[in-house]
Structure 1
Amino acid sequence: MNTDQPDPPTDDAAPSDAADAADATTAAADPPGWLPKVVLFLSGQTVSLFGSMLVQYAVFWYLTITYQSGVIMTLAAIFGFLPQAVVSVFGGVWADRHNRKYLIIGADAAIAASTLVLALLMIGGFDAPWLIFAVLAVRSAGAGIQTPAVAALIPQITPTRHLMRINGINGSIQSAMALLAPAVAGAIYAWSSAVNDGSSAALVPIFFIDVVTAVIGIGLLSFVSVSAVRRAQDAQTGYFADLVDGVRYIAHHEFVRWLLVLFAIIFVLTVAPSNLTPLMLVRSFPAGEAQDVVNLAVLEIAFSVGMMLGGILIATFFAARSRVGLIIVASLVFGVLSIGLGLSPNVWVFFAIMFLVGLAVPFFSTPSMTLLQETVEPERQGRVFGFVGIVMAVAMPLGMVVFGPLADVMPIELLLVAAGILTFVVVGLAVWLPSGRRAIAAARAASTVAKGDPVAGAAVVEQAMHRDAD
């Protein structure tokens, strides 16, 4: 969805070589060696992410098949996300004050260590659910440090004009790993489950793989040279003052505030109910334990194939499209697909709609992250992404607190349909309220300026102000 604004006056006689010269100047201004840094950084994160995905799929499959309880899934969501919300309060500040590379390495190492401890305990015969929840909490806390640091480090080593494409490529790589991970996790878990008679020991091989991938990821990242961020404000400012400054910045930044609200809506009404789709698959389309594992893997693969294709489309055909337009359309599509999941007549339609859900995700996440990277000053990006992590980490388990227990007393299909209808209503309000219109106009202007056209950006803001005044 593009903004139809008149082009600023130009000199028709200007030679076409001027644009080529401008492009050459911009390319020459790119920092030397930025591409190898980005490739090495993304490679390390991809390897580490692959191991984390194996653990995520295997643990949730084990809990789903073993307990088939909405309450257990709710507890898994709470322990898997709420610690990230708490730690992100400080993680964003740390990402703006310290070297982001070392924060990522430290968080990755802590996550791997907790996973190794759980693996050793399970080998010793300890498999109480609270042990799994405890390790989920440690991994979530590590994500509270790692996630804002990663999100802020990408624009630190990537020229602004390449951000949308790099984010799109990164999304496609992660989706490819998400395509491979459930297949690998399913094969290893099915084999190990057969060997261990379905006990929790089936998780141990996957835990060891996660530790190895974390070590590889840390090793690759260690070769990336990253300096601490140069802060425009006083470097002696305390942690609490930095935190307050971040809160004030978000409170007075119309677009960031609006986007955080939209993130909360999507995570409560779309992501939380979607976490019940594995439970719905096992309950509504039962096929026996062995086939249930296969079906759960197919469900994740369908979602991941869609995400990979969506990331490719964003990085190529949609890289220059309106960031805000993509976000709004994707939000509404989530509502349609949630209803579709709830009305699925058979397992194959269910898989097909989950593929479409995955396809829609990059059209929401990639432009959202790119807009934040374009509009937020580098010295504040850590805190802003920290608060993004807080919103996501709180909203999802909050939604599960509602939808999880309800899933034990009413059909999950009905919950998905209701969540889809509510998504239409709330996203519509977020778009049509005056505050939403102002935020959208500001985001479009900032994106236009970031692309190197301040005149058009100013025109967008001025027209938006006139519309609101009317």
Structure 2
Amino acid sequence: MAQKLLWRRKFFTLLGGQAVSLITSSILQMAIIFYLTERTGSAMVLSLAALVGFLPQALFGPMIGVLVDRMSRKAVMIGADLMVALAGGVLAFVALFIELPIWIIMVILFIRSIGTAFHGPAFNATTPLIVPEDRLTKCSGYSQMIQSIGFIISPAAAAFFYAIWDLKEIILLDIGGALVACATVAALAIPSPEPYSKAGCQHFMQEMREGYDAIRENKGLFALLWIGTLYMFVYSPISALYPLMSMQYFGGTAAHASAAEVAFAVGMLGGGILLSAWGGFKKRTITLCASILLMGISIAASGLLPSSTFPIFLVCCAFMGLSAPFYGVQTALFQEKIKAEYLGRVFSLFGSLASLAMPVGLLFSGLFAEQLGVHRWFFISGLAVIGIAVMAFRLPSIHQLN
């Protein structure tokens, strides 16, 4: 009983600190978007800001994974949060003296995203060190709940704070959130895999290769890696096309676009609650494939709706959100079946592939959506996602995973 309480206390303390940091970071991210929109009104500037957000993970992910596995995961998480706090501090300091130049904002966003690229794999690689194996799926649901709450709270909170504060004061709020996350990690005794202290003598490229080999050895996980990359290629542009679907096809306003985002986040919160309480099907690959299938059906149905049925589109958005947390069982499968000393590299590799798939998917979908109409592209993308789900269902190597 004491052991059960111990891991719960550790996990929820860690998750609580990360929740504070996630929410304050999301508020700052939205406030920066407001600031850039107000200052420039340029779609190119906003696209560049989005690009620097995932570029470090896309370019440096495999190398970051090696460093995560070489070092104490606790130290990596604290260092990543301190990097985010320090970058914010520099931005706030500059804002005291001059109006913030766009290039400085971009540099700070890039540095913050480097911190995020370290933090994500370190957190995912730390979870199985403190959570029992049979609780990893439910803990994935708790993490999805926190993420969903952040998605729901941050846009409204950012609009509120941006109306009453200067940007530098919102930056200070984010610094406070990062320091809270550092304090919670510092207060916990987090074990590290034994091999990390011996890794310094190994060749860096060899260690990167070892992370790839660790996942390739398991045919089911290797198939999931590429299924996930393909899924991100098809799905990620859909989230970027929400505003166009809401405002162009359904003839709505910015409020309608926000309503679609909130509907997705509320559905995602519901999915996280359901996953944390239920845990999904006993065979988790069925949960994962069903998640992709529900997402595909919801997207395809959205593309078939008449332009006068925006409320039904909101229902479809909620079902898309509901499906998302159940895809997170993939993280639990990696955490269980990959040795702890390789997890940093494995999660960084997956993040890197997903980050590379996103811009390619956005470019591809942007070209076709303009030619075909955004609603038709929703339908085509939905069919493609359904096809990915069917392929995942039928792959024997995935079926062999529990």
TM-score class, shorter-chain normalisation, is: 0.7 to 0.9
Deviation at 1:48, TM superposition (A): 0.6
1:126 matched residue in structure 2? 100
User: What do the CA deviations read for 1:43-77 (whole angstroms, capped 9, x no partner)?
Assistant: 111111111221333445666787474x6565444
Alignment partner of 2:246 out of 277, 281, 284: 281
Alignment partner of 2:282 out of 317, 321, 330: 321
C-alpha separation between the residues in 1 aligned to 2:14 and 2:89? 24
C-alpha separation between the residues in 2 aligned to 1:286 and 1:68? 22
Deviation at 1:257, TM superposition (A): 1.2
1:148 aligned to 2:110?
A: no
1:363 matched residue in structure 2? 326
C-alpha separation between the residues in 1 aligned to 2:24 and 2:304? 34
Does the 8 Å contact 1:278/1:296 carry over to 2?
yes
Higher radius of gyration, 1 or 2:
1
Does the 8 Å contact 1:89/1:386 carry over to 2?
yes
1:374 aligned to 2:339?
A: no
Deviation at 1:42, TM superposition (A): 0.9
1:299 aligned to 2:273?
A: no
Does the 8 Å contact 1:50/1:181 carry over to 2?
yes
C-alpha separation between the residues in 1 aligned to 2:358 and 2:35? 20
C-alpha separation between the residues in 1 aligned to 2:380 and 2:34? 25
Deviation at 1:389, TM superposition (A): 1.3
The alpha-carbon distance between structure 1 residues 98 and 363, as it changes in their structure 2 partners (threshold 3 A), is same
C-alpha separation between the residues in 2 aligned to 1:177 and 1:141? 20
1:20 matched residue in structure 2? none
The alpha-carbon distance between structure 1 residues 133 and 296, as it changes in their structure 2 partners (threshold 3 A), is farther
1:222 aligned to 2:186?
A: yes
2:12 matched residue in structure 1? 39
2:131 matched residue in structure 1? 158
Local SS of the residue matching 1:275: helix
Deviation at 1:383, TM superposition (A): 1.3
Deviation at 1:301, TM superposition (A): 2.5
1:438 matched residue in structure 2? 397
C-alpha separation between the residues in 1 aligned to 2:229 and 2:73? 26
Alignment partner of 2:27 out of 42, 50, 54: 54
C-alpha separation between the residues in 1 aligned to 2:264 and 2:81? 26
**Could you state the TM-score of these two structures normalised by the residue count of structure 1?**
0.76
Does the 8 Å contact 1:63/1:72 carry over to 2?
yes
Count of aligned pairs between the two proteins: 397
1:179 aligned to 2:141?
A: no
Pairs within 5 Å for 1:100-139: 100-121=73-94, 124-128=98-102, 130-139=103-112
Deviation at 1:361, TM superposition (A): 0.4
Deviation at 1:343, TM superposition (A): 4.1
User: What do the CA deviations read for 1:156-214 (whole angstroms, capped 9, x no partner)?
Assistant: 1112122222222222233223322233123334x25xx9xxxxx6x554333222211
Local SS of the residue matching 2:195: coil
Deviation at 1:425, TM superposition (A): 2.7
Which range moves more in the overlay, 233-242 or 254-263? 233-242
Deviation at 1:37, TM superposition (A): 1.4
User: What do the CA deviations read for 1:310-334 (whole angstroms, capped 9, x no partner)?
Assistant: 0111112244532100111111222
Q: Which amino acid aligns with 2:340?
A: P
The alpha-carbon distance between structure 1 residues 58 and 347, as it changes in their structure 2 partners (threshold 3 A), is farther
**Could you state the TM-score of these two structures normalised by the residue count of structure 2?**
0.88
Does the 8 Å contact 1:86/1:144 carry over to 2?
no
1:261 aligned to 2:226?
A: yes
User: What do the CA deviations read for 1:351-384 (whole angstroms, capped 9, x no partner)?
Assistant: 332222111101111x111111111111111111
Deviation at 1:232, TM superposition (A): 9.1
Alignment partner of 2:362 out of 365, 380, 400: 400
Identity within the alignment, %: 28
C-alpha separation between the residues in 2 aligned to 1:369 and 1:380? 14
The alpha-carbon distance between structure 1 residues 283 and 133, as it changes in their structure 2 partners (threshold 3 A), is farther
1:451 matched residue in structure 2? none
Deviation at 1:135, TM superposition (A): 3.2
C-alpha separation between the residues in 2 aligned to 1:62 and 1:340? 35
User: What do the CA deviations read for 1:266-299 (whole angstroms, capped 9, x no partner)?
Assistant: 21111222122134434446666xxx2x445433
Local SS of the residue matching 2:161: helix
Which range moves more in the overlay, 215-224 or 413-422? 413-422
User: What do the CA deviations read for 1:111-133 (whole angstroms, capped 9, x no partner)?
Assistant: 233234344555622353x5444
C-alpha separation between the residues in 1 aligned to 2:161 and 2:249? 25
Structure with the largest fraction of helix: 2
C-alpha separation between the residues in 1 aligned to 2:365 and 2:302? 15
Gaps of 5+ in 2: none
C-alpha separation between the residues in 2 aligned to 1:94 and 1:363? 29
1:17 matched residue in structure 2? none
2:291 matched residue in structure 1? 330
Gaps of 5+ in 1: 1-26, 196-200, 445-470
Which range moves more in the overlay, 330-339 or 108-117? 108-117
Does the 8 Å contact 1:336/1:420 carry over to 2?
yes
Q: Which amino acid aligns with 2:25?
A: S
The alpha-carbon distance between structure 1 residues 209 and 285, as it changes in their structure 2 partners (threshold 3 A), is farther
